[in-house]
């Protein structure tokens, strides 16, 4: 890898920039990773730390230099977990103008969205949206108000934990609170994300950033490029500014998200919500995209709003009360079944935590409402979970590859039932055909209150479906759930 060592001169006077100052010789520049408003951005090192280095273009005028200095001044005053950390700058005469920030290894949101190889659940994308909104809210709550002026998906950077941070303040502007400004010559920003009032050289305030965020939110929803149908800027400008044309929101979008996007890119800036209000709405959106069942959404909203993970004891107490789990002889088995199916992950402190995503999938698989049982009574979600994990053929959340490995060396007619790895709420029957050949995988759709459907035929339960099938003969051994109740069973048999 080629390295460009920047040799410098004497240390500038401390405090002259109003920002941390860095020697040119302290910076080593490596490969280019992007470009900003005034220059290119490189991966580099500074004081033994991997960093991002923005270097001003070699040829620039006085106006560009002043703007670059203004960006340094602005970034040196902003500190928030969702804003790219400014670490210092070098603005020595006769030397390259450089700005050093933290390095965010995952790159920018735009690149991730358009990379089909990158898996990004809608839940994760909405968390990314909320991160961006948190950063923007910090800017807009400052006094004077920071207006970003160039908020777009490529100016949102991602760290190794998929946290998002706002970057590139090259066009940012400070205005007194409750004031408006107007561009006199050139409209600043990127047209596809630019608010109509800015494009039309009208007065604007921080709500222009909210419009931009609406376009970003649509990108996060669809993983598509906005306004890709336009080839003429004049036609695009006329449609957006005068006909109020906006990207099409997919019909299956959760209503809470669809309404939020529409409000953000409203033609009337006064109708656009503040970022504080956007954050509050995104909490609800995150619940809506993670949990499809309305009653389950209400449960999470009442007990755990603003949280994506909850410690297991706290979740268990709330969920048992919500479902009315009786304190009877089956209670311990029911709780063991719930724990095994949720598979709480340990957080940084080592405590088990239940995620909103896993809870939503659990409800999709088992349903929250009571249903009729085979004996004419009613089954609760705990009954369905307990009975499922006791089936020797049920293997839960394993992948297609893992199912193939389990079955490949076993006799024809061997089978297992697992959660579908591609369709929430569905199951998959993986089996070795009696006629021989490779493992066959058949998806079983589940609709609460209706039943389980395979090849157009609906059964009241998976147990009935398995029992009635002619080619499902031998349950595949090795289910991780079979050890759940062994200790309890031996105690009941009188063993020590």
CATH number of domain containing 24: 3.30.200.20
pLDDT at 332: 95
- Give the span between the Cα atoms of 452 and 359, in whole angstroms: 20
> Is 49 annotated as a binding-site member?
no
pLDDT at 67: 76
Residue 31 has a CB neighbour count (10 Å cut-off) of: 11
pLDDT at 16: 45
Tell me, yes or no, whether 134 lies in a domain. yes
- Give the span between the Cα atoms of 129 and 260, in whole angstroms: 12
Q: Looking at the DSSP assignment, which residues form a beta bridge with residue 311?
A: 353
Tell me, yes or no, whether 492 lies in a domain. no
Residue bearing tokens 């063993």: 495
Clarify whether residues 286 and 196 are in a common domain: yes
CATH code: domain of residue 129: 1.10.510.10
Domain end, chosen from 102, 133, 150, is at 102
Both tokens of residue 461? 């339960």
**Comparing C-alpha atoms, which of 421, 394, 304, 285 is closest to residue 355?**
304
Residue 316 has a CB neighbour count (10 Å cut-off) of: 19
Clarify whether residues 228 and 312 are in a common domain: no
Given the residues 150, 168, 288, 379, select the one marked as catalytic.
Answer: 150
pLDDT at 97: 85
Tell me, yes or no, whether 326 lies in a domain. yes
* Long-range contact pairs involving 309-318 (C-beta distance under 8 Å, separation at least 24): 309/347, 309/353, 309/354, 309/355, 309/356, 310/353, 310/354, 311/347, 311/351, 311/352, 311/353, 311/354, 312/339, 312/344, 312/351, 312/352, 312/353, 312/354, 315/354, 315/359
- Prediction pTM value: 0.86
Tell me, yes or no, whether 144 lies in a domain. yes
Report residue 376's pLDDT band, with 50, 70 and 90 as the boundaries: low
Query: Is it the case that residue 14 has pLDDT exceeding 50?
Result: no
Clarify whether residues 298 and 365 are in a common domain: yes
Clarify whether residues 281 and 372 are in a common domain: no
* pLDDT per position as a tens digit, 102-130: 999 999 999 999 999 999 999 999 999 99
CATH code: domain of residue 417: 3.30.505.10
pLDDT at 202: 96
Tell me, yes or no, whether 485 lies in a domain. no
- Give the span between the Cα atoms of 462 and 448, in whole angstroms: 13
pLDDT at 59: 64
Domain end, chosen from 83, 102, 121, is at 102
Clarify whether residues 214 and 128 are in a common domain: yes
Clarify whether residues 126 and 53 are in a common domain: no
* CA dist list (Å): 463 to 10, 122, 373, 376, 391: 79, 32, 12, 16, 8
Clarify whether residues 283 and 298 are in a common domain: no
Tell me, yes or no, whether 274 lies in a domain. yes
Tell me, yes or no, whether 481 lies in a domain. no
Average pLDDT, whole number, for the chain? 90
Tell me, yes or no, whether 486 lies in a domain. no
Q: Cβ distance 130 to 279 under 8 Å? A: yes
* pLDDT per position as a tens digit, 137-185: 999 999 899 999 999 999 999 999 999 999 988 889 899 999 999 998 8
Give the mean pLDDT of 382-411.
95
Clarify whether residues 261 and 308 are in a common domain: no
Clarify whether residues 86 and 165 are in a common domain: no
pLDDT at 37: 59
Strands 394-396 and 414-419: parallel
Give the mean pLDDT of 486-491.
53
Clarify whether residues 208 and 178 are in a common domain: yes
Is 61 annotated as catalytic?
Answer: no
Report residue 464's pLDDT band, with 50, 70 and 90 as the boundaries: very high
Three-state secondary-structure class, residue 89? strand
* pLDDT per position as a tens digit, 311-359: 999 999 999 999 999 999 999 999 999 999 999 999 888 999 999 999 9
* CA dist list (Å): 137 to 78, 129, 210, 213, 280: 12, 12, 10, 11, 11
Q: Does residue 16 come out as left (phi exceeding 0), alpha (psi in the -120 to 50 range) or beta?
A: alpha
Both tokens of residue 72? 């340094």
CATH code: domain of residue 302: 1.10.238.10
* pLDDT per position as a tens digit, 32-55: 988 765 678 999 999 999 999 988
Domain tally, the chain:
4
* pLDDT per position as a tens digit, 408-452: 999 999 999 999 988 989 999 999 998 888 999 999 999 888 899
What percent of the chain stands above pLDDT 90?
73
Domain end, chosen from 102, 126, 159, is at 102
Domain that includes residue 466, residue range: 391-475
Clarify whether residues 152 and 250 are in a common domain: yes
Clarify whether residues 313 and 437 are in a common domain: no
């Amino acid at each position: 890898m080629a390295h460009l060592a920047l040799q410098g001169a004497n240390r500038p006077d401390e405090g002259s920039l109003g920002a941390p100052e860095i020697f040119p010789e302290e910076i080593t520049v490596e490969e280019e990773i992007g470009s900003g408003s005034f220059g290119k951005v490189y991966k580099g090192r500074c004081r033994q730390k991997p960093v991002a280095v923005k270097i001003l273009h070699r040829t620039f005028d006085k106006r560009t230099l002043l703007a670059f200095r203004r960006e340094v001044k602005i970034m040196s005053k902003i500190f928030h977990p969702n804003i790219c950390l400014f670490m210092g700058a070098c603005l020595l005469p006769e030397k390259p103008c450089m700005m050093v920030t933290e390095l965010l290894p995952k790159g920018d949101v735009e690149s991730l969205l358009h990379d089909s190889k990158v898996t990004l659940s809608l839940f994760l994308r909405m968390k990314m949206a909320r991160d961006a909104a948190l950063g923007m809210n910090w800017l807009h709550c400052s006094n004077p108000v920071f207006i970003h002026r160039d908020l777009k998906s490529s100016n949102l950077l991602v760290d190794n934990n998929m946290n998002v941070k706002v970057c590139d303040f090259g066009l940012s502007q400070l205005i007194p609170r409750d004031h408006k400004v107007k561009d006199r010559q050139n409209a600043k920003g990127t047209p596809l994300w630019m608010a109509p009032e800015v494009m039309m050289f009208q007065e604007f305030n921080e709500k222009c950033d909210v419009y931009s965020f609406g376009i970003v939110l649509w990108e996060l929803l669809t993983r598509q490029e906005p306004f890709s149908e336009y080839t003429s800027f004049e036609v695009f400008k006329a449609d957006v500014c005068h006909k109020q044309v906006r990207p099409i929101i997919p019909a299956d979008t959760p209503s809470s998200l669809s309404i939020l996007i529409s409000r953000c890119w409203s033609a009337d800036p006064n109708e656009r919500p503040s970022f504080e209000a956007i954050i509050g709405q995104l909490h609800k959106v995150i619940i809506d995209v993670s949990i499809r069942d309305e009653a389950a959404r209400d449960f999470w909203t009442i007990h755990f709003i603003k949280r994506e993970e909850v410690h297991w004891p706290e979740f268990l107490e709330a969920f048992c009360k919500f479902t009315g789990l009786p304190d009877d002889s089956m209670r311990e088995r029911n709780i063991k079944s719930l724990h095994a199916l949720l598979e709480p992950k340990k957080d940084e402190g080592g405590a088990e935590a239940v995620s909103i995503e896993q809870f939503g999938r659990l409800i999709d698989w088992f349903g929250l409402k009571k249903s009729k049982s085979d004996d004419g009574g009613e089954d609760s979600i705990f009954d369905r979970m307990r009975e499922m994990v006791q089936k020797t053929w049920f293997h839960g959340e394993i992948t297609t590859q893992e199912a193939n490995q389990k079955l490949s060396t076993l006799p024809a007619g061997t089978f297992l039932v697992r959660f579908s790895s591609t369709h929430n709420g569905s199951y998959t029957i993986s089996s070795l055909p009696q006629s021989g050949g490779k493992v066959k995988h058949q998806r079983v759709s589940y609709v609460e209150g209706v039943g389980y459907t395979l090849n157009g035929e609906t059964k009241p339960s998976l147990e009935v479906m398995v029992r009635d099938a002619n080619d499902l003969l031998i349950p595949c051994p090795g289910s991780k759930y079979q050890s759940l109740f062994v200790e309890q069973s031996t105690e009941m048999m009188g063993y020590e």
